[in-house]
Amino acid sequence: FAEALDAGDFAIYYLNTAIVAFGILAVQIVTISLAGYAFARLTFPGRELIFYVFLLQLMLVPPILIVPNLRTIVDLGLYGSLLGVMAPYFASAFGTFLMRQTFRQIPRDFEEASVIDGAHWWQTLWHVLLPMAKPRLIAFSLVSLMAHWNEFLWPLMVLNEPRTQTLTIGLATFALGSE
């Protein structure tokens, strides 16, 4: 076991995987909260249409987006970096849908009370709505972390150096003996 652990840089692989999974989650929590709030509480022209177009992303098979995402990552100069692996996942249609439904179920009375107390919309979101949405945020966090911790194909396409590999790629490389 000692020789096997020395043969691969598993500490680096674990660190890279943790950076990717938790980095994606941190940005997703912000984006899904703001988008969910906008679709649930704000009124603007075409809100429902934009939301349903946004939900179309759920109907796409992820491998279909590999080539356009890879071209974008290369054009942005992020190829070979952990940020290049994380960037396509910063927005989540599932998370936005979940937060929209969560915010729609919270009575507007709480929001109105905070506005009467002088809170801005972002204070209402931070101090009133998000604490009430904590169970769904935790559920989403678990799903997101599991999905991105176990991701294989996209990091394989983006990462080309052993020092930036995630755990799934590192284990596959180790198992094939090309380490």
Residue 179 reports pLDDT greater than 50: no
Only one residue has tokens 């998000």, namely 130
- Helix ranges, 64-133 (H): 66-75, 82-86, 93-105, 108-116, 121-124, 130-132
Read off the pLDDT of residues 120-143 as tens digits, 9 standing for 90 and up: 999 999 999 999 999 999 999 999
Helices 134-149 and 93-105, packing angle to 10 deg: 170
Q: Tell me the chain's radius of gyration from C-alpha atoms.
A: 20
pLDDT in tens, 72-97: 999 999 999 999 999 999 999 999 99
Q: Give yes or no for residue 149 having a pLDDT over 80.
A: yes
**Spatial contact of 133 and 103, defined as CB atoms under 8 Å apart:** yes
Rounded to whole angstroms, the Cα distance separating 150 from 129 reads 31
| Phi, psi for residue 117 in degrees, rounded to 5 | -75, -5
pTM over 0.75: yes
Note the pLDDT of residue 18.
98
Looking at the chain, the whole-number percentage of residues with pLDDT higher than 90 is 82
* d(C-alpha 112, C-alpha 170), whole Å: 52
pLDDT at res. 110: 94
* Per-residue pLDDT at 15: 96
Quick: pLDDT tens for 32-54. Answer: 999 999 999 999 999 999 999 98
Locus of tokens 């992303």: 57
What length does the chain have? 179
